[in-house]
Structure formats: C-alpha cells, structure tokens
Amino acid sequence: MHAQFAEGLQAPRPDKKPRDVSVHGDHRMDDYFWLREKENKSVLAHLKAENYYTEAVLAPAIDLREKLYQEMVGRMKEDDASAPVANRGWMWYERSEKGKQHPILCRRKQVADGAEAPEQIVLDVNVLAKGKEYTKLEDYQVSSSGALLLYMVDWTGYREYEPFLLNLETLQLMPLKIGKVSSITWAADGDTLYFTTENGAKRSDKFWRYYIKKGKQELLYEEQDELFDVGASLSADDRYVFCSSGSKTTSEVRAVAADDPQAKPVVLLPRVTDHEYRAEHREGRFYFVTNKEAKNFKIVSAPDDQPAAWTEVQAHQPAVKVDGVAMFRDFMAVMEREGGLPQIRLHDFATGKGTRLTMPEAAYEVMAEDNPEYAAMEFRFRYESMVTPPSVRAVQGRTGAVRVLKNKEVPGYDPAQYRTERLEATASDGTKIPLSLVCRADLDRSQPQPLHLYAYGSYGISESASFSSSRVSLLDRGVIFVTAHIRGGGEMGEEWREAGRMEHKMTTFTDFVSCAEYFVKSKTTTPGQLVISGGSAGGMLMGAVMNLRPDLFQAVVLDVPFVDVLNTMLDDTLPLTTSEYVEWGNPAVKAEYTWMRAYSPYDNLKAAAYPHALINVGLNDSQVPYWEGAKFAAKLRDLRTNGKLTLLHCEMGAGHGGASGRYDALKEVARDDAFLLGALGLQGKNP
C-alpha cells in the first residue's frame, strides 16, 4: 500500500442480516439490506464509523489535501460578480465575497449612457445559511410588474424547495404558505402563482394555482401515470403557463392563459407513446421542438387555436440533434448538437433564415445563460473549453455579432500551458467513441503517464468538454484528464442514447472499457496509472466496469453511485423508481430483470482483486439513497482478494449534489484528488 495511506487500521464491518430478495427464481441474499433503515441508530453509527475510518486512512495525506485546497482557492477570484442581466428595468447579478460560502443576489437600476446606479442587495444567501449545514438558492423570478421576487431554497440537499415571496420595495417577506414545491412560476398578473408538488415517492404529480392576495390554492391537474412527472414554467413572452408532463420518452404539455386567473389548462398535443416535445410561444403561435417523424427533433409552429396545425420552422436533420430553443420576439436561438459538439443556430423570424455561430476551438462547451427579456435583441450564452475558462457572451440575434460580457478570471492560470485534444476509441462493435482530453502542454507523451478517465453515459445527457479550475491541480502533477462520450449519453444524438439504454445498457459499460483499453494499448497510460470516476448513473458505470475489468484500473471514485440497481428498481415506493422503468427497465418483468441482473454492480460483486475505491454518498440524497454506496462498500470489502482500500464517505448534511458552500465543495474535491494521487503514488509530486 502507498505511504500516502495509513496501514493496519480496522475497517468498519456492519452486521450481516441476510434477507432473501430472490425473484423470478433467481436466488439472491442481501446481507446489508438493513442499512436502508435511516432512523436506525446503528445505521447512523456505522456511517459515522465509515467517515472516521476514511479520515484515519487518509490522515497521512492531510498536508496534501490542504495544499490542493489552497491551490484551488488560489485559482478562485473570491470577490467576484456574474455578468449583469437586464430584467424589468434593473440589472441583476450575483456576487461573492472572500471567505463567504454563498452568493449575494444584487441589482442596480438600469440607466443609460453607461452610468452605474447604486447597488441594492436583495438577498444574501450567507445570511439565510447561518447556523445551517446546507442551504442552496435554487431559483429566483421577478414578477411581471417588477414589484415582487419569488425564490426557492433547498435546506437539506433532498431537493425539496421552500418558496418565498419578497417585496422588492421594502425587502420584506410576504406570507406564502404552500409548503414544499418541485417547481413554481409566476403568472402574468403579479398575483397568481402556479406550482407543482411531489407525492410520497417523490414523484412530481400535482399542478396547482395559488392566489397571493386571497391566500388560496386550487388543484388544476394530477398526473396519474407513475412514469410521468410534471413541471410548471412560463413561456418566454409571459403569455402562457405550461404544465409539462414527461416520462423519459414521452411528453404532454398543458397550457394556461397567464393573464386569466380563472383559466383552465388545455392540452396542446395529447400524449402518444414515444412522442417527445417541448413548447414555447411567441406572437400568437406555439412553437414545438418535437421528435414526431424526426428522431433528432425538428421545430414546428402552430396557431394558438390549432396547436396541431403545424408549419415547419426548422426541418429535421438526421446528423443534427435539436436540444432546445431560447425564444425571443424577433429571433430564436436553437441549441443543437452535431458530431458530439454543441452548436448555436440563430433563426431570424423576419427572413426565416438560420445561421450557425462559428466556434473558435475544436472541442468546447456552449450553453444558454439567463435570458429573461422577451424583447431583447441579444442572446446571452456561456462559452468554455477544457483549457479556456468560461466567458459570458451576447450575440445579436439578427446579425450574429458577438460581444464578450465577462471573462471568468482564474488567478495564476495560463491557458497556453495546457492543450486539449479530440480523440476516438473503437468500441467492441467497431463504433467510434469520442474522447475529450486535456493535459499539460509540456507533458512527455512519449511514455505512459497517469490518466484520469471520466464518463456518465445515461439519460441521453451529453457530457461536455468544459473547464475546471480545480482540475488544474491534477494536470500540474502530470495527470492526463479525459472525458469519454460513451453511448447512453446524448452526445451523438438520439441513436447514441438508444444504443445504451434498456436492453442495450451493457453497451455503455463495454464502451467505457474500450476507451480505457485504447489508452493502455496506445501506451498513453498503464492499468497501474489509470484512475476513473463517475457520479450517480456514472457511479453505476464505475461499479459495472469494476466488475467487468477489475484488473484494468488502479483506483475508482464513485460519487453518489446508483449501484443497488435491482433492489431499488424492485421497490416502487422509493423516489424516482417508477419513472426509471423506461430508462433501465422494470425488473418485475422477467426479461427486463435478466438484462439488469447482468450489470447491477452490487449483485455482480465477486471474489476479485479490485482497484482502490472511494465511495461518496449523501445522507439526504433523494435521487440515489445513501445506502446504495454503503452496501456496496460493505460487500466489496467482503469480497476483494487484495489489500487495496475500500473507503466510504457519507456527507451527513447534504444530498445528491454534495456540499452547498463553494469552499466546502472544494474541500470535497481536494479529498478525492488526494485519494487518487495517493493511489497513483504521486502524493509527493508538486506542480
């Protein structure tokens, strides 16, 4: 074992309480099923023991962790502010102050001639967070009159949001007693709210209207299908409130006139299995991003009174996936993806013509920023790459002229010292898998080097070639970082997603193995220098590839990992289970159970020489319960045949996203990186 880890310590061993979880004639006994008893004092004691053990094992790395943390803080501009955005006569922005964990929401009166009005602090999240383990400002929205602010706070990390109303003239809170919500939005009158709530299984299933002055609410719609969740949003032009029902593969949208507090929801396009669509509105017409007869989506519009009478706005292109639109009065910005890379296309409504922006690098990430003003003539977006820090930019919707609003300052960072590459690995079936790589420009690539391989590969989510200032600490110690854009994700369109879900899910895992083998065969790295990581469904990926090829990796970080697949998916009372049936399958169906049984990480652990493993979970995680990682750690210790580490860290006051404070979040990254550097034998290597 490396000197960076303490030796001779006794790992926690939870009691074995065998429980028969057999189904379909497949005999399975689960020794650690009882760890899901969150209120059981023995469970909490075990989690605390795991934390103590992890800290004790990593104690020799305490100086390294502190050094990494200080490096990361050093690349943070601690006193900073976001690019201001115009919203109802004011310029809104968030700023941070040195030593403070959370943002401060501010605004200035919008004035002409480049003058700057005095700042008004609207909401200091640091004040909200005082005395609390977790506080996250989730969203804020200004009413149509500009008089009121609606915002939501998550107090635990469980993704239950408490809404608040703030009078922007007096900065006094107003009564709003509607309990926790899953989404919320204004109507157009400044006195009506629409919101959604969750049931006991944490499925968002009810759509409500609330009258602020009356203090009354009414239920407008309840979603009965257990595969579907509902969400509330306001159209870009403030004309309609949308109640969007969606499963992983099917959509249905109801519209309510935003200026009529008595209006009833009207279905725009009735649900049809496998028809996915999203709705927007402008100038008397609904706009739909739809996959009807368009695998990778197209854009159509229809009159308000005939939403099924479509006129094509942007035709389907098989090689181009339409991810969504940002709608304005005179133009729309279409977010596309082609060849694994995101693109922005500007569509001018006056001419009907579309123009795609040119991006300055071969691999990069672009995404929409906040664009609250419907009549704006510019579209705000964020640009970055693996070597280029983020910048907020604005493009003229009709001319394509781009200006930079703010470049994120990264103290001490010189992009010229790093290089990024776009590579391809060949999967077992011959498919080319894109890879995004970043490393030091002066790294000696003629010999194998340490390599950190990351991936996700689920839900059609596209992993980006984005910038990370904290990652620089690994790069400066000679580690190559790579994101693998494997199937199951959406990088190459809907076909890419379909090739890695349901009965084809194993492809996601074999793709990742092929990517790892590519770097070993090309002598870029060796198994002893190869570390991997992934979170949530990417944590499932990590568990699966550990089982497939335990010999291929030196160390693994599994963040909030979905690893107890069968037990979770067999329990429809757990959050998110039912809605996942169309992503993984329903194990109550024997054929679907069979394909899930083949990869479920917890159920496929075996006697093997596994790599070092650090498993991070959150006690308040609503998406992947803490017990999945805790059970996986216990069983992995039972079965591993070598002396490598199995470590579990449980964040006792957070959920799926980890710590809410920016400094606390960096401490988590420093712990993980110190673990990986120790496993690689690089604990003594300095930048």
Q: Which residues contact 624 (CB under 8 A, 6 or more apart)?
A: 536, 539, 560, 561, 562, 617, 656
Q: Which residues contact 70 (CB under 8 A, 6 or more apart)?
A: none
Q: What is the DSSP letter of 391?
A: E
Of the candidates 437, 465, 469, the residue with the CA atom closest to the CA atom of residue 452:
437
Q: What are the E-state strand segments in 540-628?
A: 555-559, 612-618
Q: What is the DSSP letter of 580?
A: G
| Residue 460, number of CB atoms within 10 A of its CB | 21
| Residue 134, number of CB atoms within 10 A of its CB | 22
Q: Which residues contact 398 (CB under 8 A, 6 or more apart)?
A: 330, 331, 346, 348, 350, 377
Query: Token pair for residue 50?
Result: 């795991």
C-alpha pair distances (Å), 460 with each of 469, 502, 583: 26, 12, 10
β-pairing, 285-290 with 298-303? antiparallel
Output the DSSP codes for 250-301. -EEEEEEETT-TTPPPEESS---TT--EEEEEETTEEEEEE-TT-TT-EEEE
Cα separation, 403 vs 434, whole angstroms: 30
Catalytic residue among 656, 660, 672, 673: 656
621 is catalytic: yes
| Residue 232, number of CB atoms within 10 A of its CB | 25
State which H helix or E strand residue 498 sits in. helix 494-498
> How buried is 62 (Cβ within 10 angstroms: 0-12 exposed, 13-18 middle, 19+ buried)?
exposed
Cα separation, 223 vs 593, whole angstroms: 27
Q: 3-class SS at 666?
A: helix
Q: What is the DSSP letter of 577?
A: T
Displacement of CA 467 from its chain's centroid (Å): 15
Give me the numbers of helices (H) and strands (E) for the chain, helices first please: 11, 39
Cβ proximity of 532 and 516 under 8 Å: yes
Cβ proximity of 288 and 242 under 8 Å: no
Cα separation, 312 vs 165, whole angstroms: 40
Catalytic residue among 536, 600, 622, 660: 536
Of the candidates 317, 324, 213, 192, the residue with the CA atom closest to the CA atom of residue 261:
192
Catalytic residue among 603, 621, 672, 673: 621
Cβ proximity of 26 and 20 under 8 Å: no
* Biggest distance spanned by C-alpha atoms of the chain: 76
Q: 3-class SS at 567?
A: helix
Cα separation, 75 vs 179, whole angstroms: 40
Cβ proximity of 194 and 207 under 8 Å: yes
Q: Which residues contact 522 (CB under 8 A, 6 or more apart)?
A: none
Of the candidates 353, 318, 351, 350, the residue with the CA atom closest to the CA atom of residue 334:
353
β-pairing, 612-618 with 646-651? parallel
Cβ proximity of 601 and 544 under 8 Å: yes
* Active-site annotation, residues: 536, 621, 656
